[in-house]
Amino acid sequence: MRKLLPALLVAGVVMSPALGRAQEPAAPAGQIVGDAPGEAPDATRGTEQAVAEGHGGEAGGEHATPHYPLKKPAELSWTFAGPFGHWDLGQLQRGLKVYKEVCSNCHSMNLVSFRNFSALGYSDEQVRALAAEYQITDPAPNAQGEMFQRAGIPSDRLPSPYPNPEAAAAALGGAHPPDLSLIAKARSVERGFPRFLLDIFPWSQYAEGGPDYIHALLTGYEQAPANVTIQPGTYYNPHFISGPALAMAPPLSDGQVTYDDGAPATMEQYSRDVSAFLMWTAEPHLVERKATGFVVMIFLIGFAIMLYLVKRRVWADTPH
């Protein structure tokens, strides 16, 4: 009996899956095996296939799901890229001009102070003159206990075009424009495997995903394809990271901003300049950080060589 019991247990384990399958009811006529009961087999596959074929969707088995952005941004050449990158002050000044004349009509930059612009090559007098162009609500009330406005000073932060996010959403059809202080670090498109593995090497150090994405978004508006339906009041942009369309209308056009240094007044130039400027506002100490890291790497390499030589000297007379 003791020898027969293990054999019965093994036979039960082997036979139980087959018995279970034999007891399952047969699929009703016309139903495709694998679909949920009552589901129309081809109810949504046509739409998903159209999205997959024409708008960047990736097929996963029988179904296709669009992955945003539909078009990945091109990797551009920036002066601040790589381990020896540096800021182009002329480009940053042009980017500030584009922000002031175009972007600041809707977007705030609450984490940037006027005095920070001295790093862009402006003198103290120029920074004070720039701040005085804005009317700032003083954080402290006057002697009568009332809030009042005054001319800006270098320690003030750039004012928002709207008093609060709710007012901004109400004025812009329900869409609240994001603050641009850190947008170049907050928005980026993944490079995917295996390219992101190369970013750790010193000769790459790819950190320009934010500017690449901003440039692609500003210049990537297109006419919506016939098989894509977008919501009223939105604009088709295959580079948008959250969907096929966004509420922001195309903000830039040729000849919109006049540069003082004679740079081309084109949408491409505007986009590059403001993208570089937003990278600076998001990480103003980028160049200093890279310089410090380069010095640290040299020190660590020299320190490792010194330790190796000391080890050889200390253990030279010890038999191994």
Q: Annotated binding site for heme c, which residues?
A: 103, 106-107, 248
Buried b (16+ CB within 10 A) or exposed e, 177-211: bebbbbbbeebbbebeeeeeeeeeeeeebbbbbbb
- Mention every residue, 6+ apart, whose C-beta is less than 8 A from residue 184: 210, 211, 214, 275, 278, 279, 281, 282, 283
The whole-angstrom separation of Cα 270 and Cα 263 is 10
Instruction: Give 32: exposed, middle or buried? Use CB within 10 Å, 0-12, 13-18, 19+.
Output: exposed
**DSSP label at 118?**
G
* Residue appearing with tokens 């024409």: 54
Q: Which helix (H) or strand (E) holds 150?
A: strand 149-151
For the annotated binding site, the residues are 103, 106-107, 248
Distances (CA, A) of 289 to 87, 202, 285: 13, 14, 6
